[in-house]
Amino acid sequence: MSAPTILELTDPRWEKFVAGHPAATPFHHTDWVRLVANCYGFRSFAVTASDAHGEIRAGLPVVEVRHFLGARKWVTLPFTDYCAGLFTCPEEEADLISALEQASAAAGVRRVEVRAPLAGGSATGPTSFRHVINLENGPDAVFKGFRRNVRQQVRQAEEKGVTVRQATRPEDLTETFYSLHVRNRRRLGVPVQPRRFFRMLWDSVVGKGLGLVFIAEVDGRPVAAHVCLAWNGIMTDKFSASDDAAWALRPNHLIIWNALQTACQMDCKSFDFGRTEASNEGLRTFKKMMGAVEEPLEYAALGAGPQSASEGDGKMGQLLGSVIRRGPLVLCRATGETLYRYVA
């Protein structure tokens, strides 16, 4: 392999490589990478390893994160559940690791974080899990893969008047979903993403056909909503929110079923529920009852340097969570506007 190359995400060579790689997910798509970088004011690019003819054989999109203390690190990618290196054999993975190490050292960056396992990288934080449903046998097989009580709950949601529609305008995401999302985040005691993120998400992802928003309603009142990314044969459930007073109606069950049917219609091969913390037994059980296969998910890091906020001391996060849960909605929004970029 030749020396590592840093490419702008608009470089046709990178776009061609990602579009033609079977392992590329919606998180590798240049529009998702630019969304994350542009929303929070970070720089984005790709690190690649090429053969002697200049053909890219391995690569990863990267966001350079700089916090208020001034320390820099490379992350692939912030606010992203899973983003593995793109290569086809162990030799190419070794070349990619070498490219990341050489390029980061040349840039004076001491730490590279990868949101996926990486040979030779040190594990960062506790193991979490991914949950994936195979869609290749069609929606009937997917429905039969649900636990019996889940199939009943889907039917009950329909019988109780829950309906699901797809978003057709930005306000469905920036108003309807966001309103439910803020309330969920306050209940959980965590800051919410800035509203501008969802405006940009519509413009750069959903509005371009790279994602969908599903909204569950009862008598015209929104009770749940999910934001999914969809590209290269994969649909990923990225964001979800619901009214806890309506949980008995099972709106999330019905949304997931609608999303799975839509994914099958789009010829997606798999549905990815995204990352779930090991400690969240309830959510892990829910996803497995929907027929998903659970697999461990570890993140890796190369080098030394500033850790992610999630790897550090959690006492400050616990204190902040207590304040958010007890405060008004505006406090949850304000902390997100001020602090969210610092957990990248």
Domains of the chain (ranges, CATH numbers): 5-127+299-312 (3.40.630.30), 136-268 (3.40.630.30)
Residue 316's pLDDT is 45
pLDDT band of residue 332 (cuts 50, 70, 90) is: confident
Residue 116's pLDDT is 94
pLDDT band of residue 171 (cuts 50, 70, 90) is: very high
Cα 266-130-138 angle, rounded to 5 deg: 30
Q: What percent of the chain has pLDDT over 70?
A: 92
Q: Which helix (H) or strand (E) holds 225?
A: strand 221-231
Residue in the block written with tokens 């009950």: 156
- Per the prediction, the chain carries an average pLDDT of 91
Averaged pLDDT for residues 49-65: 93
Q: Which helix (H) or strand (E) holds 277?
A: strand 270-277
CB 217 within 8 A of CB 165: yes
Order across the sheet with 162-166: list the strands.
162-166, 211-218, 221-231, 234-242, 270-277, 128-134, 293-297
Residue 305's pLDDT is 61
Residue 292's pLDDT is 98
Residue 1's pLDDT is 57
User: Does 195 have pLDDT greater than 50?
Assistant: yes
- Residue type for 309, please? A
Measured torsion, CA atoms of residues 319, 340, 105, 307, in degrees rounded to the nearest 10 = 20
Residue 311's pLDDT is 41
pLDDT band of residue 309 (cuts 50, 70, 90) is: very low
Averaged pLDDT for residues 242-253: 96
Question: Any idea which of 113-117, 159-163, 219-223, 328-332 has the lowest mean pLDDT?
Answer: 328-332
Averaged pLDDT for residues 106-111: 94
Q: Whose CA is closest to 296, among 165, 51, 123?
A: 123
CA dihedral (187, 191, 196, 200) positive or negative = negative
Averaged pLDDT for residues 71-83: 93
**Higher-pLDDT residue of 271, 124:** 271
User: Does 163 have pLDDT greater than 70?
Assistant: yes
User: Does 95 have pLDDT greater than 60?
Assistant: yes
